[in-house]
A and B are shown apart, each in its own frame.
Chain A
Amino acid sequence: MKIEQELRSALQKRTSDWEAPTEVLRNVTEQIEAEQAAGGSGHAVRRHRPVRKRVLVGILSAVLILPTGAYAGYHYLSDSVYGSKANFGGDANAYEQLEAKLQTVKSQMSDSEYEQLTRLLREAASLYSQYAGEDGQLKKSEMSVEELARLDTLEQEIKKQTTGLDTSKAASTQFDENFTVEDFWAEVLAKAEKQLDSTDYAKFRALVETVKSDVEAADKTTMEQLNSYLLPLGYKVEQSN
């Protein structure tokens, strides 16, 4: 028998009674469903990872890079309070800071505690958005006594629930002056090389090189393409204003 036939036959015999364990499918399905239920939508979901947020300082470019623990279909926690970034009165940075704080708070609370806090925040945010002026200040004079009292109660309650929680981490990780654009891309490429196959990695690398060499060329499509690779890796890039 030719060596190739012998090898084929030996390998087939050796593995003939090996069957894929059924619990693998069960575990995979359970994990996918749990991830989807935890906030992901569709297929591109990922396990929770600690949020890492860095706003790069001193980038003379049109791209503001915000690596986050985000994934495709990820919802900003702040969105659960404000609906979307567009509904938030403050500027984008303030929204990101709120997001960072919420992420930090969430990591220190149980699911039920966090859910309760979100309900309170949502109600408070709804009152704020109704009565906040263009300057972002609350127009208390326009509010009814009941609404004022309710807002006061909500604020007390939120304060009570978040007392003792450390949100300083969120603030301190907002800015990292020593972390450069080069560092960021090097970190991302190293991670991508481990997780992507060679074809995808080559495509991704080419995109990164394009953005690095001419940041002005980073149009909406390029950003979307970049994010389709970055989000599963736990990063996200956004166009700065």
Chain B
Amino acid sequence: MEQEKDLIERILAGSSAAYAELYEQTAGDLYKLIRLLVGNTEDAQDVMQETYLQAHRNLHRFDRDRAFRPWVTGIALRQVKACRRKRWLQARRIGRAAQYNRRTEEADFANESAERLDRGEWIERIERLPYKLRQIVILKYLNDYAQEEIAEILGIPLGTVKSRVHAALERLRKSGPKPFEQESLDSAENAHLKTGGRYS
């Protein structure tokens, strides 16, 4: 924390090297969060860039007794929101662009191993969650933020965070991937039905 304070002091004094250091310390996790939320690398890169520019411009107002990571995450989420709004408007104009992106993402999963396909299925389920729930799931289970921190980042009451976590887990449980054996059994049953039992 003290080291982070020093770093911020140096940035405020005009050091680019200090800002690069702060970027190196925080950008990795933030990029993952952003890319999961926007769904493609191009928008993720734009959002990252705008986030770190905004953070730099507003650093003089940052309360140095608090941690930098949740603060910059809050900025990133506002940029993600703006990006989604912009994309939604574009999608309305271009129509099928969003579907195209989705198909690309799905094709990526197809090349992965069986184990990763199972995990990919969780990701797909997460991607299908409403944005507000998805955001909370990623903040909690990827970035490991405590529920109190999530409340602060999003500017919502702790109770709302808790109920969203609960709602998200409920939805994921209901639609979650079945255990491997069960899934195989289901596939076998389907095959049986489709072939009319000729190969069983």
CB-defined contacts of A36 to chain B, threshold 8 Å: 14
Nearest residue (CB) in B for A25 is B23
Q: Mark A111-154, 1 if CB is under 8 A from B, else 0.
A: 00000000000000000000000000000000000000000000
Whether the pair A20, B155 counts as a contact (CB closer than 8 A) is no
Interface presence of A49 (CB below 8 A): no
Q: How large is the interface on B (under 10, 10 to 19, 20 to 34, 35 or more residues)?
A: 35 or more
Tell me the complex Cα distance, A18–B152, Å: 26
Whether the pair A195, B78 counts as a contact (CB closer than 8 A) is yes
Provided the pairs A14-B120, A29-B16 are in contact, do residues A24 and B52 lie with their beta carbons within 8 angstroms? yes
- Dominant secondary structure of chain B at its interface with chain A: helix
Whether the pair A43, B11 counts as a contact (CB closer than 8 A) is yes
Whether the pair A7, B27 counts as a contact (CB closer than 8 A) is no
Nearest residue (CB) in A for B73 is A197
Provided the pairs A3-B173, A15-B36, A197-B78 are in contact, do residues A45 and B57 lie with their beta carbons within 8 angstroms? yes
Within 8 A of A (CB), among B50-78: 52-54, 56-61, 71, 74-75, 78
CB-defined contacts of B45 to chain A, threshold 8 Å: 21, 23-24
Interface presence of A190 (CB below 8 A): no
CB-defined contacts of A19 to chain B, threshold 8 Å: 28, 31
Interface presence of A232 (CB below 8 A): yes
Whether the pair B122, A7 counts as a contact (CB closer than 8 A) is yes
CB-defined contacts of A168 to chain B, threshold 8 Å: none
Interface presence of A167 (CB below 8 A): no
| Cβ contact of A11, chosen from B27, B75, B126, cutoff 8 A | B126
Interface presence of B172 (CB below 8 A): yes
Interface presence of A228 (CB below 8 A): yes
Nearest residue (CB) in A for B45 is A21
Provided the pairs A11-B141, A197-B155 are in contact, do residues A31 and B28 lie with their beta carbons within 8 angstroms? no
Nearest residue (CB) in B for A18 is B32
Interface presence of B158 (CB below 8 A): no
Q: Mark B114-153, 1 if CB is under 8 A from A, else 0.
A: 0010011011001000000000011001100000000010
Point out residues on A near B: beta carbons under 8 Å. Answer: 3-4, 6-15, 18-21, 23-25, 27-29, 31-33, 36, 42-46, 72, 194-195, 197-200, 228-229, 232
27 contacts between A and B (CB under 8 A): A3-B172, A7-B126, A7-B172, A10-B126, A11-B36, A12-B142, A13-B116, A14-B120, A15-B35, A20-B31, A21-B45, A24-B49, A28-B23, A28-B56, A29-B19, A32-B56, A36-B14, A42-B60, A43-B56, A43-B57, A46-B57, A194-B78, A195-B78, A197-B74, A197-B155, A228-B61, A232-B57
